[in-house]
């Protein structure tokens, strides 16, 4: 899962980036509206945190431009507590949720998790597939109740697959959702990663769809 943070206050941006990374997300950061607008339009994010007060292009204009272009990723806006009108304008401009500054990072994280969950059609924070459980609230993965230790990259991969279980996910799509923009992406690494996950979980859980990609198959659909 990959998130874009658009925030010109470097201190706040660093705090948000840190808490998201710790929770297992790949994170890109933009410090002005134009860069944010460009990244949100060209890169596939699973969610975006967007400050409304930004240099070069304000957050509301950025948001409207994404929505006009048909970009439908979940967007959480950061607003000032005193400006309820901005919040209303943001929500009506296509935002999915908001937090008012100053905010608790834990609340921001919980809201992001909920947005990602909802946008992929899940209500419960615990994702299940064939004896595998991934708890998005605490990052725990279990197999038939036993804890499975995953690296950050393995966790991101499983999280993306389990949020989109049943769908065929190409290597390119997977790559775009588990690495940030600064990362040197190598799709050969994906095969190695998938094989490591198969070994740690259940070998038959992640299927290879030749020429198409990978598919996490729920047991009742097998
Ligand atoms: Ca700002």
d(CA 29, CA 3): 9
| Distance from the alpha carbon of residue 74 to the mean position of ligand 1, in angstroms | 20
In a domain, 99, yes or no: yes
**Of 150, 160, 194, 193, nearest in space to 2 by CA:** 160
| Distance from the alpha carbon of residue 94 to the mean position of ligand 1, in angstroms | 19
Q: Which domain holds residue 71?
A: 2-119
| Distance from the alpha carbon of residue 144 to the mean position of ligand 1, in angstroms | 45
pLDDT of residue 132: 94
Q: Helices 33-42 and 59-68 meet at what angle, rounded to 10?
A: 20
| Distance from the alpha carbon of residue 51 to the mean position of ligand 1, in angstroms | 6
pLDDT of residue 160: 96
| Distance from the alpha carbon of residue 45 to the mean position of ligand 1, in angstroms | 21
pLDDT of residue 213: 94
Parallel, antiparallel or unpaired: strands 132-135 and 146-147: unpaired
Predicted TM-score (pTM) of this structure: 0.92
| Distance from the alpha carbon of residue 27 to the mean position of ligand 1, in angstroms | 18
Return left, alpha or beta for 206; rule: phi > 0 is left, psi -120 to 50 is alpha, else beta: beta
d(CA 3, CA 81): 24
pLDDT of residue 12: 97
Same domain? 70 vs 34: yes
| Distance from the alpha carbon of residue 216 to the mean position of ligand 1, in angstroms | 40
Tokens of 141: 């993965």
| Distance from the alpha carbon of residue 80 to the mean position of ligand 1, in angstroms | 9
| Distance from the alpha carbon of residue 100 to the mean position of ligand 1, in angstroms | 12
pLDDT of residue 200: 94
| Alpha helices, H only, the chain | 10-22, 33-42, 59-68, 84-92, 105-119, 152-163, 171-178, 187-200
Domain end residue (candidates: 97, 119, 141): 119
Residue with tokens 């809201």, as numbered in its chain? 111
pLDDT of residue 220: 65
For the chain, list residues with pLDDT below 70: 187, 220-222
d(CA 149, CA 163): 19
Domain count for the chain: 2
Same domain? 77 vs 97: yes
pLDDT of residue 184: 74
**Of 165, 150, 156, nearest in space to 196 by CA:** 150
Same domain? 166 vs 141: yes
pLDDT of residue 18: 97
For residue 62, give the CATH number of its domain: 3.40.50.2300
Whether residue 88 contacts residue 52, with contact meaning beta carbons closer than 8 Å, is answered with: no
pLDDT of residue 44: 95
């Amino acid at each position: 899962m990959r998130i874009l943070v658009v925030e010109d206050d470097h201190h706040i941006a660093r705090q948000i980036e840190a808490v998201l990374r710790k929770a297992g997300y790949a994170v890109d950061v933009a410090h002005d509206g134009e860069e944010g607008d460009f990244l949100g339009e060209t890169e596939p994010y699973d969610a975006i945190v967007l400050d409304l007060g930004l240099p070069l292009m304000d957050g509301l204009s950025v948001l409207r431009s994404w929505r006009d272009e048909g970009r439908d990723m979940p967007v959480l806006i950061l607003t000032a507590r005193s400006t309820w009108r901005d919040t209303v304008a943001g929500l009506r401009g296509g935002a999915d949720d908001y937090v008012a500054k100053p905010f608790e990072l834990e609340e921001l994280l919980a809201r992001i998790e909920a947005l990602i969950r909802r946008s992929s059609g899940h209500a419960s924070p615990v994702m299940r597939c064939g004896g595998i459980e991934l708890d998005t609230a605490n990052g725990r993965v279990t197999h038939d109740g036993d804890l499975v230790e995953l690296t950050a990259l393995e966790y991101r991969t499983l999280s993306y697959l389990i949020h989109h279980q049943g769908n065929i996910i190409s290597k390119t799509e997977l790559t775009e959702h588990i690495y940030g923009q600064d990362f040197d992406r190598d799709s050969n690494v994906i095969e190695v990663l998938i094989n490591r996950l198969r070994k740690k979980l259940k070998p038959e859980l992640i299927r290879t769809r030749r020429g198409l990609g990978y598919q996490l198959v729920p047991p009742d659909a097998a």
